[in-house]
């Protein structure tokens, strides 16, 4: 009999003497010996060792979440869900439009680019590591989670975006000490409450939050060294060929670790890649489609409060209507055209959004079936120990009930959502930064 050892904090057993061939077959299968494989496993021992250590860090924080869980009440849960919304893509999109339309055009541009970088960094590492959320049998989650856990999107973005606003205003605006103090309290409360809300809701461990904050600090530190260079580059019409920008973001998406079907990390990054692409092209080209000049970079500081509130409200209402209508039309047209093209080319395709909404994504919370591949995997010593990989042709993603009941295997199909979101969000952002401001001027806003 082979020796056995416990891993993952002693929660399950693994065969220490598992051969490389058996491992390759087991992680492709769908039975009880299935391993949760991740792109970082390709690094061998180092990659698998890192995943084991990070998983231990995730599980060790469970008692903290259990303690927080004891103090949940319906009102507190509702409050935490509202606070958690302040760290979502939807909220940051509204904030981005508010800044770029009503407050400071330059800050809005830089905020949008940084938001894209933050989403890409978080999604990249999540898909690279494929680590679970808190144990489901010990911590009851208050929200559904479709992507992997570490690092936390909310934590990473809650570090870079609020604090970049704080730093930018400190550098570019002259505020009194009272104003700075009030702004600091708002920024710090926003940042830290968003992080805590994820712990309260049981969808992230302390390790997820800490790692997200750590990566966020690194991203923000690097961004502060190049933000002026980036803005000068895109504002002085140096992006001569928009195709170069498109190819750059296409390359970044190509380098993104492959996700399991229905995982929103990659499609979210497609959205943000489209946003940044549209923002850069819109600002660098400045085609003046309606013949009007751009808005002032900033709203004058001496603008009366009543005028400011009126202008801000009207611009948001008009802009939101314009963007919503454009999004509805664009989404229908682009998705229809892409599906027709795929059919003409004879390509199989599916919608990851539909797949996810139907409940066919892999369960992302830790449970007894979550098994990492062992750190050390020996090579087979003789042919009797080898298992032919030809006996299994499906990938790890093809073990869900969805695939067992249909002929379509999402792991082998094109996701129609990917090109659709890239195109739709690129065009929408272009309209938001180039056309909508000219609409404001046209109607006297």
Q: For 408-432, how does the pLDDT look when each residue is reduced to its tens digit (9 = 90+)? A: 555 557 778 888 888 888 888 888 8
In a domain, 231, yes or no: yes
In a domain, 354, yes or no: no
Segment 140-156 mean pLDDT: 88
What is the Cα–Cα distance from 435 to 428, expressed in whole angstroms? 10
CB 18 within 8 Å of CB 378: yes
In a domain, 366, yes or no: no
Segment 360-375 mean pLDDT: 81
Segment 392-419 mean pLDDT: 50
In a domain, 190, yes or no: yes
Segment 22-35 mean pLDDT: 47
Rounded mean pLDDT of the chain? 78
pLDDT in tens, 339-366: 888 888 887 877 777 777 666 677 788 8
In a domain, 199, yes or no: yes
Q: What is the pLDDT of residue 89?
A: 86
Segment 199-209 mean pLDDT: 92
Segment 292-296 mean pLDDT: 46
| Residue 298 reports pLDDT greater than 60 | no
Quickly tell me which residue has 């970049």 as its tokens. 164
pLDDT-based confidence at residue 293 (cuts at 50, 70, 90): very low
Q: What is the pLDDT of residue 238?
A: 57
Q: What is the pLDDT of residue 218?
A: 94
Quickly tell me which residue has 């605006």 as its tokens. 173
| Residue 245 reports pLDDT greater than 60 | yes
Segment 235-250 mean pLDDT: 71
What is the number of structural domains in the chain?
1
In a domain, 31, yes or no: no
Weakest-pLDDT range from 188-197, 326-335, 368-377: 368-377
In a domain, 52, yes or no: no
| Residue 390 reports pLDDT greater than 80 | no
Weakest-pLDDT range from 47-61, 205-219, 274-288: 274-288
Q: What is the pLDDT of residue 409?
A: 55
pLDDT in tens, 68-91: 998 999 999 999 999 999 988 889
In a domain, 379, yes or no: no
Residue of 341, 268, 257 whose CA lies nearest to 93: 268
Q: What is the pLDDT of residue 76?
A: 92
- Can you give the residue range of the structural domain that contains 155? 62-347+415-442
Q: State whether the Cα torsion 55-57-63-68 is positive or negative.
A: negative
**Could you tell me which residue, 353 or 315, shows the higher pLDDT?**
315
Say how many C-beta atoms besides its own lie within 10 A of residue 205's C-beta. Answer: 29
Segment 118-130 mean pLDDT: 90
């Amino acid at each position: 009999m082979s020796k056995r050892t416990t891993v993952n904090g002693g929660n399950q057993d693994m065969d220490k003497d598992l051969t490389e061939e058996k491992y390759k077959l087991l992680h492709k299968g769908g039975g009880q010996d299935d391993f949760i494989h991740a792109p970082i496993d390709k690094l061998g021992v180092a990659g698998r060792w890192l995943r084991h250590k990070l998983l231990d860090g995730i599980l060790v924080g469970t008692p903290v979440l259990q303690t927080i869980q004891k103090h949940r009440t319906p009102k507190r849960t509702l409050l935490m869900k509202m606070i958690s919304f302040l760290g979502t893509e939807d909220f940051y999109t509204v904030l981005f439009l508010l800044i770029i339309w009503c407050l400071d055009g330059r800050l809005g541009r830089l905020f949008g680019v940084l938001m894209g970088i933050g989403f890409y960094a978080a999604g990249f590492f999540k898909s690279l590591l494929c680590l679970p959320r808190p144990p489901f049998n010990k911590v009851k989650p208050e929200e559904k989670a479709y992507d992997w856990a570490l690092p936390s999107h909310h934590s990473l973005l809650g570090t870079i975006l609020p604090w970049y606003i704080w730093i930018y205003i400190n550098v570019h605006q002259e505020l009194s000490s009272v104003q700075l103090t009030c702004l600091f309290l708002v920024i710090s409360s926003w940042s830290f409450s968003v992080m805590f809300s994820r712990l309260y809701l049981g969808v992230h461990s302390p390790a997820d939050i800490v790692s997200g904050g750590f990566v966020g600090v690194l991203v923000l530190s690097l961004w502060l060294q190049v933000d002026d260079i980036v803005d000068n580059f895109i504002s002085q019409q140096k992006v001569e060929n928009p195709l170069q920008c498109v190819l750059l973001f296409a390359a970044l998406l190509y380098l993104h670790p492959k996700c399991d079907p229905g995982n929103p990390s990659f499609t979210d990054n497609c959205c943000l890649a489209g946003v940044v692409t549209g923002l850069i092209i819109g600002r660098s080209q400045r085609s003046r489609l309606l013949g009007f000049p751009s808005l002032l970079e900033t709203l004058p500081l001496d603008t009366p409060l009543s005028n400011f509130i009126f202008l801000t409200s009207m611009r948001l209402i008009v802009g939101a209507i314009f963007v919503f209508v454009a999004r509805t039309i664009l989404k229908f047209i682009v998705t229809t055209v892409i599906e027709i093209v795929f059919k003409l080319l004879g390509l199989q395709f599916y919608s990851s959004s539909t797949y996810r909404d139907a409940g066919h994504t892999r369960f992302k919370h830790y449970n007894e079936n979550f098994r990492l591949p062992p750190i050390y995997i020996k090579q087979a010593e003789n042919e009797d120990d080898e298992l032919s990989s030809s006996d299994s042709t499906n990938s790890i993603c093809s073990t869900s009930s969805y695939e067992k009941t249909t002929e379509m295997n999402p792991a082998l199909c094109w996701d129609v959502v990917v090109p659709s979101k890239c195109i739709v969000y690129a065009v929408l952002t272009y309209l938001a930064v180039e056309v909508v401001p000219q609409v404001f001027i046209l109607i006297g806003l």
